Amino acid sequence: MATTWERWNGPTDRMARALGWFSIGLGVAEVVAPRGMARLIGLADTHGRRRLLRGFGLRAITSGAGILGGQRQAGWLWSRVAGDALDLGVLRTAMRGHGADRARLGTAAAAVAGVAAVDLLASERATRRARAPIHVRTSTTIDRSPQELYERWHDLTELPGIMRHVASVEMTGPKRSRWRVHGPAGTMIEWEAETVEDHPGRRIAWQSVDGATVPNRGAVEFLAAPGDRGTILRVDLRYEPPGGAAGAAIATLFGKEPSQQIVGDLRRFKQRVETGEIATGAGPSARRRPSRYDEPMQPARA
């Protein structure tokens, strides 16, 4: 099974990771050696300043760990921007104090301002990335003809038996359907979609209608596998999660990596089509609810 998951990454991720490690390193230095850090940047070495630096260090370590953890990365990066503003405020106040080492404080302020610019850039990019479309492409080979798989997939009301996160699909017209999917904490997310391509035995494509809570589009193709080995089933999905609660729901919907959910769905579909069963933790012959495509279930023998 071949899968790709595309979302804006690359330089932004590397920058965020670098800032995460920098934040932890600086935080450890401030916690372990606050006196030395105070002298380095020109702050008066007082008990209060040492406590202040230790507090800043703990904040930096927390932010760095949050950034490297990968969850709500944009939020943790923005916390660094807020911390930079606080640091600059402290340095500005210190420069007004009696006997302040203004040269060192000025150098430290310039360094913090430079880091703040990088933090701001990384935060803005991470925010845009969090709202970028999710694009999942995956394929698998199934030992059935393209026409048979097309017929199974064409009946959208059967999709809840294929995709675990889909609660129901109701046909509201010849080419229109209403989708209900499981969200977090037992909530449901709904949208309307329309079929935009329907080529029997070859391809089905759909997209959400205007105003959908979760704009999305997708296509599934049925290609004859070489050597008469069945069908290559290709799925291409794009979701555009908005911000706020709906965006958080979509993140929960697909888990840490969106492709994992789709791969699991196709694996279950392959098992169901080829064997009539889906492997679960309940035993080697555990089955999910039957559909109209199933062979009649035989009574269990004593």
Tens of pLDDT along the chain (302 residues) come to 554 444 444 445 788 889 999 999 999 999 999 899 988 888 887 888 889 999 999 999 999 998 888 667 788 899 999 999 999 999 999 888 877 788 999 999 999 999 999 999 988 888 776 666 677 888 899 999 999 999 988 888 888 887 777 889 999 998 999 998 876 566 788 889 999 999 999 999 999 998 887 788 889 999 999 988 899 999 998 877 655 445 545 554 554 455 567 788 888 889 888 887 655 444 444 444 444 333 333 333 33
- Number of folded domains that form the chain: 2
Residue 229: other Cβ atoms inside 10 A: 11
What does the pLDDT read at residue 201? Answer: 94
Final residue of a domain: which of 114, 130, 146?
130
CATH code at position 214: 3.30.530.20
In single-letter form, the type of residue at position 53 comes to L
What does the pLDDT read at residue 219? Answer: 93
What does the pLDDT read at residue 258? Answer: 53
Closest CA to 208 of 248, 244, 234, 246: 246
Final residue of a domain: which of 110, 130, 150?
130
Could you tell me the CA-to-CA distances from 185 to 182, 189, 245, 260 in Å, in that order? Answer: 9, 12, 12, 20
Euclidean distance between CA atoms 79 and 205, whole angstroms: 42
Closest CA to 273 of 171, 120, 144: 144
Q: Please check whether residues 268 and 148 belong to one and the same domain.
A: yes
Q: 285 near 277, Cβ under 8 Å?
A: yes
Dmax over Cα atoms in the chain, in whole Å?
A: 93
What does the pLDDT read at residue 294? Answer: 36
Euclidean distance between CA atoms 58 and 65, whole angstroms: 11
In a domain, 301, yes or no: no
Q: Please check whether residues 115 and 54 belong to one and the same domain.
A: yes
In a domain, 290, yes or no: no
pTM of the model: 0.53
Q: Please check whether residues 148 and 257 belong to one and the same domain.
A: yes
Q: Please check whether residues 111 and 188 belong to one and the same domain.
A: no
Distance spanning both ends of the chain, measured CA to CA: 39
Q: Please check whether residues 146 and 192 belong to one and the same domain.
A: yes
For the chain, give the secondary structure using H, E and C.
CEEEEECCCCHHHHHHHHHHHHHHHHHHHHHHCHHHHHHHHCCCCCHHHHHHHHHHHHHHHHHHHHHHHCCCHHHHHHHHHHHHHHHHHHHHHHHCCCCCCHHHHHHHHHHHHHHHHHHHHHHHHHHHHHCCCEEEEEEEEECCCHHHHHHHHHCHHHHHHCCCCEEEEEECCCCEEEEEEECHHHCEEEEEEEEEEEECCCEEEEEECCCCCCCEEEEEEEEECHHHCCEEEEEEEEECCCCHHHHHHHHHHHCCCHHHHHHHHHHHHHHHHHHCCCCECCECCCCCCCCCCCCCCCCCCC
Q: Please check whether residues 153 and 251 belong to one and the same domain.
A: yes
Residue in this structure with the two tokens 């449901």, named with its chain if needed: 188
Q: Please check whether residues 161 and 220 belong to one and the same domain.
A: yes
Closest CA to 153 of 211, 108, 107, 202: 202
